[in-house]
Structure formats: C-alpha cells, structure tokens
Amino acid sequence: MRALDWMANHRRLLWIGLIFWLLMVLSILNRHWAMYPSFSTHDQGIFNQIFWNGTQGRWFEGTLSSGESAAVLFENQLPDVSYRRLGQHFTPIHLLWLPLYALLPFSATLLVLQVTLVAVGGMALYFLARQRLSEQVSLWLTLGYFCAQSVIAPNLANFHDFSQIPLWVFLLLLAVERQRWLWAIAAILLIFLCREDVGIMLFGFGLYFVVSRRHPWFGGALCVVSVAHVVFTTTVLMPLFSEEVGTNFLAFSYSNYVEGDASTVDLLLAFLRRPDRVLVDLFVPFDSTLRFLLGHWLPFLFVPAISPAAWLCTAPPLATLLLRSDTHIALSMQLRYTVMVLPGMCYGAIVWWSHHGQKLSQRTRSFWAACLCLSLLFTFTLNPSRTWSFIIPDSVDPWVHLTLSKQWHHANEVRSLIAQIPPEASVAATDNLLPHVSGRRAILRFPTLQYRNDTGEPTDVDYVLIDFWQLQQYAEAFSGSRDRLQTWMPLGQSLVEENRYGVVAAVPGVFLLQRATPSNADAAAAWQTFQAMPAGEL
C-alpha cells in the first residue's frame, strides 16, 4: 500500500523518468544492434570483454584494453590477455554490476544498465531538490536534467565509467542535506570506486561546503580525502598494474605542462610553476569554452551561470577540462568528460533557487520550456554517436545517409558470419564489430593480428572479421574512412596471398578469414570481386 501511495504521489516524476528511459534505450540499442559505428565503438568492446572476463574469474583483464596501453602504443609490445585495465582507469565499481552481467552476459546489457543508472540519477536529483525546493521547481529542475545535452549525448555513446557518477553524487548530497553522515561516507566510498579522478569533482563540493559555512568540517574533510584519493590512486594503486598514468594519460592530455613519465604530483607542481599559462588556458579558446558552458546552462534556465554555488562546485573539474591540451575532446558535449561538470551545475541551481523563490511564474515556465526544447533540438541535430543517422544524414555534400532498413539488413548479414566463429576462438575485427564478438578471451582491434596468450607466447588470431562495407559508405565524404579502406584492403589481400588466412565466408563488403585454412571458392570469388571495385562504388 505504501508503495502504491508513493507511486501515486510521484506519478509525474515516474512518467518523466520512464519516457526518458524508453527513448534512450530504444535509441542506443537500435544503433548497437544495427552495428552502426560511433566515434568510440571499440570502447563498448573493451568494457564487454572486461565484464566477460570478470564472469570467468579474470577480473578487469582484456586484450582490447591492452591494445590501448602504453606498452603496446609506445613500446611496440603485443596485446596481452592477462593485462588488467586498472592501470588505465581505476574502476573497482564494475564488480558491483558483475552479477547482473553474469545473469545477462550480453554487450547490450551494459547499455541498458548505463541508461538505467542515468535515469535513476534523475530521480535522485528530484529528491535532492525536494529537500530545499517546492515540488514545482524540483520537477522543472529534473526536467532540465533529462533534457540536458550533457545527460543525453554522452550516454548515447558506448558504456563508460562516468554514467553512474551523477547518481552517487546526488545520493551523497542528499545524505548531507539530511545530515545522515554514515550514508554520506558510504556514497563517497562508492564514488571513489568509480574512477581515479573523481576526487577532483568532490573537491569542488567540499570547497562549497567550506566557503558557504554550511558544513565546514565536512567540506574540509571532503577536500582532504579527495586530494588524497587522487594522489594515492594514481601514484600508488594504478602503477601496481601498469605504467599508464604518466606515459599514456598525463603526458598526452596535459602535454603543455608535463612530458614523459609524469605523476599527478608533477602535474600539480607544473600548474603552480606556470600560473601565466594556466590563466591563458582557462579562457582560450574562448568560443569553445562558451559553447560548452552554454550547453550546460541552457536546460537549467541559465541559473548555474549566476549561481556562486555552481561555480564553486564545478571549478575543479571544469579547470581540468580547460587546461587539457586536447580541448576539442574535453569540451565536446557528446563525450563522457562533460559528465564531470553536470552534478555541480545541478546542485548550484538547487542552491540558487532555494534563495530566490519556490514558485515559478507563467512567464518563467514558458521561458524554461523554450530552453528545454532548444536543448533537445541542439542535442538531436548534434546526432551524438551517430545514434539518429537513419534520420539525419552523416554528410550532405557528398550525400551520405544510411536508412534504417539498410543498416539492419547489413547487420543481419554480418550476424550470419559471427555465428560461424567458435566462442573460444581468438578474433581480430574492425571497430564497429568489436562489441558483438568481444565476449571471449582474445579479441583484437584490426589490423592488429598478434597477441600474447596465457602462456606468454606470441599468437596469431584464429579469425579476422573485416567490415569494409561500413568504410565504403563514408569513403567519399570522410578522409578517415577513405584512408582506412585504402590501407586495409591491400593488407587483407596480403594475408590471403601469403596463405596466412583463407576467406571462408563473405557477405557484401564483409569477410571472414580463418588462419591456415583454404579459401572457400564462393567467398574467395566475392573477395576478389570486391578488391577490384572502386572505393566509392557500392
């Protein structure tokens, strides 16, 4: 009875959350099952293999993760099946979701989990807002969250570490509002398990609690443990698994300040030594920074722009994004990094409204509704991760548009090839196919073909699955696709001509090669016909 009463009292909230969840799940699963490539499709393969290995008792191991390691990228070593991803990103929180994946061991499970965590995060935001605001304002803030580009766009991409962070942060702030300190400590611990750099975000909230004098003792403690967590995790824990922080992250992302094998402490000292450079990088490029901030402010009626609490809470994570050398990535609204700024924007809006009224006029509601519609429009036209490419063309001149039926027809043909690969076999595949074949011990990103097996010996993959068809669709409009097509076709031909692999199965533009196996006559004929075709011909 209490559950029914609760649902009746929060009917509007539940409907908002349910509509968001359904639209997001339908959108992301359509792209996933249609095997449509996004900008980081291989990340989905990375996480799926991590979870699959976890169900086998080999926690956080993955050859796809190894392929992104410093040892492979900079030292020309082979990907290793026993490589643990904790050296790249410290994410023990994944163990919390491992039983769910063991029950439903599919790549799509991770995508539904991600959308669910984001939707529940919106519910948590509502109850956080209700601690200080009226139901009306709380609902509009929650609508702002569900319509925010920083919520929709990054979570239409592949599974990532950031998706659960807003939920835990909102639960932490809810515990603080209610002064349930044990619950707050539990939430902090969960946040620390999400990633090695979440302490940067929590430092902002600690700073707010100190400056506002609401809970100065708690804020001070939060600042201290946040810094300690970042330093200890990146300098002590992560190097136990591999040397990635300095060579494969800091030296790349903050190349303006450090080089070589730098630590987190080295980076902090570099910031202190170059305050002039820091000041410039915080504002340049100004247009990208302004667009990034406007994207965050728009669904919340621009309130975070005038909320001191929002600026305090978001200052540390925002600064880390602005100081990166790859700001075109860090300030992209459709990539996962933008999520680090989101909780501070939401909480800053809550604090501002708590001091400026609990009721919205008709004019305010109309303006807010217009802002929400604009946010949704900008998100849709952004076409994050090519989710709606069956509606929005990927290119107008030259015209590149794959209809829904064309995408699904291609995906169904590819599935017929995947079904021929034994589950225990090792595979190299092109990016858009990785999520669908990554539930195995050894999976590589084509054109890499060798890895180190469990005995440490170099081994060639058993199968190679190449989707030239997808590249062919984009070759005329996108140089990256054209370059890969021109490079990979001769590479594939050499594998066949040298009798290292035989073409054992084919569908239009997609080929399955097997090591040390004679080619199937029909498949070989299809291969040779495709090799003779011009790059732009379908």
Q: Which residues contact 500 (CB under 8 A, 6 or more apart)?
A: 460, 515, 516
H or E segment to which residue 428 belongs: strand 427-429
How far, in Å, CA of 522 to CA of 538, rounded? Answer: 19
**103's tokens:** 């029950």
Q: Is residue 262 within 8 Å of residue 250, measured between CB atoms?
A: yes
β pairing state of 501-507 and 510-515: antiparallel
Average pLDDT over residues 151-161: 93
How far, in Å, CA of 354 to CA of 339, rounded? Answer: 24
Q: Has residue 267 got a pLDDT over 90?
A: no
Which of 507, 412, 517, 508 shows the shortest CA–CA distance to 461?
Answer: 517
> Among all chains, which residue has been given the structure tokens 């300690």?
228
Which of 497, 493, 476, 475 shows the shortest CA–CA distance to 484?
Answer: 475
Output the CA torsion sign for 326, 331, 334, 336.
positive
Kindly report whether the peptide bond that precedes residue 447 is cis, defined as omega within 30 degrees of 0. Answer: yes
| Tens digit of each residue's pLDDT (9 = 90 or more) over 63-116 | 999 998 888 988 889 999 999 999 889 999 999 999 999 999 999 999 999 999
Q: Has residue 323 got a pLDDT over 60?
A: yes
Q: How many CA atoms lie within 13 A of 158 on its CB side?
A: 22
Q: What percent of the chain is predicted at pLDDT more than 70? A: 96
Output the CA torsion sign for 96, 99, 102, 106.
negative
Q: Has residue 260 got a pLDDT over 60?
A: yes
The pLDDT, as a whole number, for residue 6 is 61
Q: Hey, where are the domains in the chain?
A: 2-33+84-386, 404-531
**279's tokens:** 């000041």
Kindly report whether the peptide bond that precedes residue 490 is cis, defined as omega within 30 degrees of 0. Answer: no
Find residue 427's DSSP bridge partners.
443, 463
How far, in Å, CA of 338 to CA of 329, rounded? Answer: 10
How far, in Å, CA of 61 to CA of 78, rounded? Answer: 15
Q: What percent of the chain is predicted at pLDDT more than 90? A: 73
| Tens digit of each residue's pLDDT (9 = 90 or more) over 377-402 | 999 999 999 999 999 998 888 888 98
Q: How many CA atoms lie within 13 A of 297 on its CB side?
A: 14
The pLDDT, as a whole number, for residue 330 is 83
Q: Which amino acid is at 17?
A: G
| Tens digit of each residue's pLDDT (9 = 90 or more) over 418-460 | 999 999 999 999 999 999 999 999 999 999 999 999 999 999 9
Q: Has residue 353 got a pLDDT over 70?
A: yes
